[in-house]
């Protein structure tokens, strides 16, 4: 499988080299180079996407570019990466990936007060499984100390899930009724992810549920969409890939 993937990557690189304005190819290249740990190459592909889109580039496009720049630089937020973060936040002030890295930038330039303000906000508003929560929680005490602030770490948010009524209802159903109930929950989750987005765990849950229901074509399509949504987020991609394997639709 690894050899096949690397062969496909060679073909993808050749295809993008021959058509350097292909946004879909560039997006695939950026995502998969990042999966391989080739962050400089992933950064170059994402930079090309932002260049082609110009003013139409989204907050997420710029945030992903900054993420790849920082990864390629071993965690340092360069002036160029800061510019990409500002571009992202100028388009969407609540872009959470950009906010996390902006906090990291403020630490680098000895502004722990600004980092504390940003990271405390993320701790209180992010989804329970947001990848930046663990590093923020591990560092924010020291950040507050550097800022001269007495700080109490907020309780971690609870993971969403079915309530007791949902569980009790499912236990009392026949197999046919339970399948219909699951399909209803899947439909609601699918609609919400399509309209408002969601966490990697929620995308993975949808993929797994579709696999259980035997809707493999749909599970495969959702998995591919999720990989696009979380391109550059290695932890999220691993979670999505695991759900795809469980559903029998792994690449």
pLDDT of 161 reads 46
Mean pLDDT over each residue of the chain, to the nearest integer:
84
Rounded Cα gap, residues 91 and 155, in angstroms: 30
Hey, is 127 helix, strand or coil? coil
Residue 182 has pLDDT above 90, yes or no: no
Rounded to two decimals, the pTM is: 0.64
Helix 112-125 and helix 96-108: axis angle, to 10°? 160
249 pLDDT more than 80: yes
Judged against a pLDDT cut of 90, whether residue 159 lies above it is answered with no
Range name among 65-74, 84-93, 219-228 with the lowest pLDDT average: 219-228
Which pair of tokens denotes residue 88? 């992202």
Given a contact cutoff of 8 angstroms between Cβ atoms, the answer to whether 43 and 231 are in contact is no
Alpha carbon distance 33, 5 (integer Å) = 11
| Per-residue pLDDT at 51 | 96
Q: Please, what are the domains in the chain?
A: 1-57 (1.25.40), 73-159 (1.25.40), 164-247 (no CATH)
């Amino acid at each position: 499988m690894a050899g096949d993937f690397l062969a496909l990557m060679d073909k993808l690189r050749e295809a993008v080299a021959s058509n350097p304005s292909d946004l879909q190819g560039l997006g695939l290249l950026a995502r998969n180079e990042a999966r391989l740990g080739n962050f400089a190459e992933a950064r170059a592909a994402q930079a090309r996407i932002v260049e082609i889109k110009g003013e139409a580039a989204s907050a997420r496009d710029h945030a992903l570019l900054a993420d790849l720049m920082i990864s390629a630089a071993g965690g340092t937020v360069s002036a160029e990466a800061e510019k990409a973060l500002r571009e992202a936040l100028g388009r969407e002030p609540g872009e959470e990936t950009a906010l996390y890295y902006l906090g990291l930038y403020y630490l680098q330039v000895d502004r722990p007060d600004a980092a504390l303000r940003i990271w405390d906000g993320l701790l209180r508003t992010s989804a329970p499984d947001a990848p930046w929560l663990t590093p923020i929680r591990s560092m924010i005490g020291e950040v507050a100390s550097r800022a001269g602030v007495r700080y109490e770490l907020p309780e971690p948010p609870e993971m969403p899930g079915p309530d007791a009524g949902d569980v009790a209802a499912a236990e009392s159903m026949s197999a046919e009724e339970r399948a219909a109930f699951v399909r209803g929950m899947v439909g609601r989750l699918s609609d919400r992810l399509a309209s408002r987005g969601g966490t990697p765990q929620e995308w993975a849950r949808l993929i797994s549920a579709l696999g259980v229901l035997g809707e493999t074509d749909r599970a495969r399509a959702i998995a591919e969409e999720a990989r696009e949504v979380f391109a550059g987020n290695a932890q999220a991609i691993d979670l999505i890939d695991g759900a795809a394997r469980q559903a029998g639709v792994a690449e």
